[in-house]
């Protein structure tokens, strides 16, 4: 059974901003892009290190170490050297709080 976990207030992020939160011991990067929220595990599948410090280019994030690119909305790989997608989390707003689904 999955549960929804409160992570931040909806008003905490402006468009183009992101924050890294802990979800049951897993670092998750939460982004606000064009008024919508997205959440991906904060790990580059190429080298296992964090990715949230990478450059955001539209709806993609570029790994700061080797340049792999991922879609923030889906976690899909967009450019090597990575070949595995990043795990994503469902996001919703409840009572002014941004929640992530932990399954």
Contact 27, 40 (CB under 8 A): no
- Pairwise CA distance, residues 103 & 94, whole Å: 18
Backbone angles phi, psi at 85, to 5 degrees: -65, 160
pLDDT for residue 1 is more than 80: no
Is pLDDT of 2 > 80? no
Domains and CATH numbers, the chain: 3-102 (2.102.10.10)
Predicted TM-score of the model (pTM): 0.94
| pLDDT for the residue numbered 101 | 92
Q: Are strands 26-33 and 36-41 parallel, antiparallel or unpaired?
A: antiparallel
**Per-residue model confidence as pLDDT tens digits over 56-88:** 999 999 999 999 999 999 999 999 999 999 999
Span 31-63, pLDDT tens digits:
999 999 999 999 999 999 999 999 999 999 999
């Amino acid at each position: 059974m999955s549960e929804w976990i409160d992570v931040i207030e909806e008003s905490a992020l402006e468009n183009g901003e992101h924050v890294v939160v802990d979800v049951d011991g897993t670092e998750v990067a939460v982004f606000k892009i064009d008024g919508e929220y997205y959440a991906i595990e904060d790990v580059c599948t190429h080298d296992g290190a964090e990715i949230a410090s990478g450059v955001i280019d539209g709806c993609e994030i570029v790994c700061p170490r080797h340049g792999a690119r991922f879609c923030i909305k889906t976690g899909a790989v967009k450019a090597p050297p990575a070949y595995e997608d990043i795990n994503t989390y469902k996001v919703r707003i409840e009572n002014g709080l941004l929640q992530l689904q932990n399954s």
